[in-house]
Structure 1
Amino acid sequence: MGGRQVTDWQGRRVTVAGLGVSGIPAAKVLRGLGATVTVVNDGEDERARAQAADLEALGITVRLGDGATLPEGTELVVTTPGWKPDKPLFAAARAAGLEIWGDVELAWRLRGPDAAPWLAVTGTNGKTTTVQMLASILTAAGLRTAAVGNIGVSLLDVVLGDEQYDVLAVELSSYQLHWAPSLRAHSAAVLNLAPDHLDWHGSMEAYAADKGRIYEGNRVACVYNVADKATEDLVREADVEEGCRAVGFTLGTPGPSQLGVVDGILVDRAFVDNRQKNAQELAEVSDVNPPAPHNIANALAAAALARAFGVPAAAVRDGLRAFTPDAHRIAHVADVDGVAYIDDSKATNTHAAQASLAAYESIVWIAGGLAKGATFDELVAGAAGRLRGVVLIGADRELIREALTRHAPEVPVVDLDRTDTGAMLAAVREARTLARAGDTVLLAPACASMDMFVNYNKRGDAFAEAVRELSSADG
């Protein structure tokens, strides 16, 4: 079943590993194409039983509570991204000489002959924002596009839908890339690399290698982060089409084949004639919302991919101006008594929190939650000089407190021994007592939220609500 296209699915015996947001659509699509589909799932709770009943009504076999055994006669395995590569099911599939695809690989294989090319983005942090910026720029250029992939819009839906696109802006996670061996993007970017999901990948080397798959077979540009050498190393290791170029982005002055910043202007020295001498102005830093350093880097990466696709400079400016970031990404909630309150609940790991802390001069930091195996020494040491005070919440706050004791012993710390949802209001009140006019109270937890909240959105909502209570009390 190698190659790009599989045209005859009739009667093919496909095993789908896992229910969930990608497993269920994959099973339905494959059944619709005529395949004989069996879904296997580890869990068998009430929700899984309801999902199984829906699939069985479509003629799909579902085996709950048995995700380890490969169904007899399987010819292909399609997996949800979250299933770890060391699962026994996959070992059995490999031993049988079977291919294992993820939902992205399935979508790639099901594209029609005139399918839109993919501009792909991955990285530890900033993927969603960059893909949304890219889609905004492409739209400003008059192109039919959509932001798809790990961003929540299913690639299967887009590939098999009736709507026609000129180009797709595709967010890809390391999980998805691991299971997408034949994906070949027009151009792709790795924004940054920092330890994350190591429990899934097994090592930093394996995680980086999966991220680097995004560059395989690129046709026009491999976009990398000049400040993050690991991303450039992945470009060097990639097997690309002849003529494909390495294009860097930097917050400093760009060299040839780079995009960067000069005197508050985003400039392009990659997609211009005579790039040794010439540069093209694209936009002003003030066109980027918000103009925090890591977000300017996102904008440059998005601009590089758009320019690789031939988008004019004016569309970069117009697209960045039109872009509005999602909630809970360095979102300004309110000013109270001259103190800015910023919600960056999306900073669920240390790398994201590091970028957030670097954006402000004097900070009262609200942090904590589920650490996911992270350590905090590097983060705290780097931010120590900016911290007015720290308020800690959540299950693993002790790990951050120990790092603060080692690297920022002079900084006052309030340790809220609470993991209930009401702790956020208490945290905001404590932060207010520590802050002075001109400071920023920053929710950048550096941790996941599930110890206290359903997700990072609910955590950010709780912060914003607590800030509104402060300001209404003043009013």
Structure 2
Amino acid sequence: MKLSELEGKRIALWGYGREGRATLAALRWHLPRTPLALLCPQSEASEALELGDPALYIFTEDVTAELLARFDVVIKSPGISPYHGAAAQALARGVRFTSGSALWFGENPDARTLCVTGTKGKSTTTALIAHLLRASGARTALAGNIGLPLLELLDADPAPDVWALELSSYQTRDAIAPEVAVVLNLFPEHLDWHGSEDRYVIDKLALVTSANPRNIVLNAADARLAAFGRSAALQGTASESDLDAEAGGTAPARLWWFNARQGWHTRGTLIFRGEDAIMDGAALPLPGAHNRGNLCAALTAIEAMGLEAVPLARHALSFRPLPHRLQTIGHHDGREYVNDSISTTPHASLAALDCHANRRVAIIVGGYDRGLDWSVFFERMSREPPLAIITMGQNGPQIAEGLQFAARGGRFTLLEAPDMPEAVRMAERTIGADGVVLLSPGAPSFPRYRDYVERGRHFAQVAGFDPDAISAIPGLGVA
């Protein structure tokens, strides 16, 4: 859908977070006199009222299917699930929904886009792609779920050569004909929004199955993606070795693999392209094997665009890591403080521990309980525990209960904290003057925090560091 198609329609914006604000600004720029309704809680309404927009009508009542049915088009914020409540009921009644991201794709059908999704690593991989493309001389936009709504860059002038876009599972169905679609991995996540693990996987893979990409990049080391790549869902795609479509026919999507022996992959800390060792990943400013895998994904995506990735690989050494992702925020009294607030699954917490193997680690876990299975975490802790595990948040008691058996042998200290300040103090007391205080919650931040950023900032503040100094995302926007 293009913005011009909204003219003369009864339009509602549902939600006034950052994407909602970007959508309203874009509509007002392109459709200045069109009446608009804003459906939002009272806490967001005051900011909208300050705009003094005479054609903006604000509804703070509970959103019902009946209310939604009064509009021709509802532009929904990403965090509102279409599978539950009023949205699902309104869809059944024929209400048309779209989003800010979908409107951007509608306005930019010919843009060269690299779209990245996955349960873990999508922000880092997208930012790496942008960093390497800029090193090649391409004017590149870094936007999307990483922290900059696409509509904020709708009228970028001059337009970028390439768009590196992170898409969450809420946004994959918005994409239209990306030049490259990257799926990094699949673990259970956001089950409250999607309704089931199966639906989550289907929605993630919509970037490949529904968006009509020209190139598909998948992780050969992810069992689900490896099986998917061999399935009927990708029947008709060309493998990396199929260089040309049949003469006179429509070119199929081309399938690329990373973490496969013939492509970009790792052996120990070394990063290989096929049988050629390209660089030692231990020198990267990104800790852990999973981040070396993220670089392999980024380099594969760049090759899928038709660029030579090997000479660009060395530029990863100058990459500035993103905040709240295994971020060392400083040292006090011999202790290292690591902020991994972005961690919202048990698998992410395990990856964080892997990055600090053979160190004295006190890890802080727990947050919002959305029904994820923590058994893989419990099993690992029975074999390879850190020095201490401190639980907090809504699911903290359940995590602590699941760890009781593993903790009985005295191989690690298990503590429960009522809040972040006490969790940090417990971690400090446990490791003393030598070790790592690691925040890697494995769970979402709400309702205690607005988002993972606020949680990470609070961790930094409690640990004695400046939250503002650790929060900026490098490279956002066009450069």
Verify same fold: TM over 0.5: yes
How much has 1:192 moved relative to structure 2?
1.3
**Residue equivalent to 2:293:** 297
**Residue equivalent to 2:441:** 445
| 8 Å contact from structure 2 (residues 143, 166) kept in 1 | yes
| 8 Å contact from structure 1 (residues 345, 444) kept in 2 | yes
Whole-angstrom CA distance in 1 between matches of 2:258 and 2:335 = 33
| 8 Å contact from structure 1 (residues 40, 66) kept in 2 | no
1:332-347 matches, cutoff 5 A: 332-334=328-330, 340-347=336-343
- AA at the equivalent of 1:246: L
| 8 Å contact from structure 1 (residues 366, 431) kept in 2 | no
Whole-angstrom CA distance in 2 between matches of 1:466 and 1:356 = 20
**Residue equivalent to 2:354:** 358
**Residue equivalent to 1:249:** 258
How much has 1:99 moved relative to structure 2?
3.4
1:146 aligns to what SS in structure 2?
strand
Aligned residues: 442
1:43-122 matches, cutoff 5 A: 43=41, 45=42, 47-54=43-50, 57=53, 59-68=55-64, 69-70=66-67, 74-85=71-82, 86-96=84-94, 98-111=95-108, 115-122=110-117
Whole-angstrom CA distance in 2 between matches of 1:247 and 1:36 = 45
Whole-angstrom CA distance in 2 between matches of 1:209 and 1:346 = 23
Q: Are 2:395 and 1:396 equivalent residues in the alignment?
A: yes
- Paired-residue identity, %: 27
Whole-angstrom CA distance in 2 between matches of 1:396 and 1:71 = 34
Counterpart selection for 1:36 from 31, 34, 45: 34
* Gaps in structure 1 of 5+ consecutive residues: 270-278, 470-475
**Residue equivalent to 1:133:** 128
CA-atom RMSD in angstroms: 3.0
Identify if the C-alpha distance between structure 1 residues 460 and 429 changes in structure 2 by more than 3 Å, giving closer, same or farther: same
Q: Are 2:11 and 1:14 equivalent residues in the alignment?
A: yes
Whole-angstrom CA distance in 1 between matches of 2:226 and 2:368 = 31
**Residue equivalent to 2:284:** 288
> Normalised by the size of structure 2, how large is the TM-score?
0.82
1:222 aligns to what SS in structure 2?
strand
| 8 Å contact from structure 1 (residues 119, 185) kept in 2 | yes
How much has 1:21 moved relative to structure 2?
1.7
Q: Are 2:187 and 1:189 equivalent residues in the alignment?
A: no
Q: Are 2:224 and 1:224 equivalent residues in the alignment?
A: no
Identify if the C-alpha distance between structure 1 residues 463 and 25 changes in structure 2 by more than 3 Å, giving closer, same or farther: closer
2:18 aligns to what SS in structure 1?
coil
1:122-201 matches, cutoff 5 A: 122-178=117-173, 180=174, 183-201=176-194
Identify if the C-alpha distance between structure 1 residues 442 and 244 changes in structure 2 by more than 3 Å, giving closer, same or farther: same
Identify if the C-alpha distance between structure 1 residues 442 and 27 changes in structure 2 by more than 3 Å, giving closer, same or farther: closer
Tell me: higher relative CO, structure 1 or 2? Use CA pairs within 8 A at least 6 residues apart: 2
291-300 or 84-93, which deviates more = 84-93
Whole-angstrom CA distance in 2 between matches of 1:93 and 1:461 = 38
How much has 1:368 moved relative to structure 2?
2.7
Whole-angstrom CA distance in 2 between matches of 1:75 and 1:36 = 13
- AA at the equivalent of 1:95: R
Identify if the C-alpha distance between structure 1 residues 190 and 71 changes in structure 2 by more than 3 Å, giving closer, same or farther: closer
* Gaps in structure 2 of 5+ consecutive residues: 238-249, 466-479
CA deviation digits over 1:405-463, x for unaligned, max 9? 234532332424422x4314422322324x8x6x5443222233346555444544454
1:116 aligns to what SS in structure 2?
coil
- AA at the equivalent of 2:188: P
How much has 1:197 moved relative to structure 2?
1.0
Counterpart selection for 2:271 from 266, 275, 282: 266
How much has 1:31 moved relative to structure 2?
4.0
Whole-angstrom CA distance in 2 between matches of 1:289 and 1:431 = 28
How much has 1:66 moved relative to structure 2?
4.2
**Residue equivalent to 2:202:** 209
1:36 aligns to what SS in structure 2?
coil
Whole-angstrom CA distance in 2 between matches of 1:116 and 1:416 = 50
- AA at the equivalent of 2:364: I
| 8 Å contact from structure 1 (residues 30, 37) kept in 2 | no
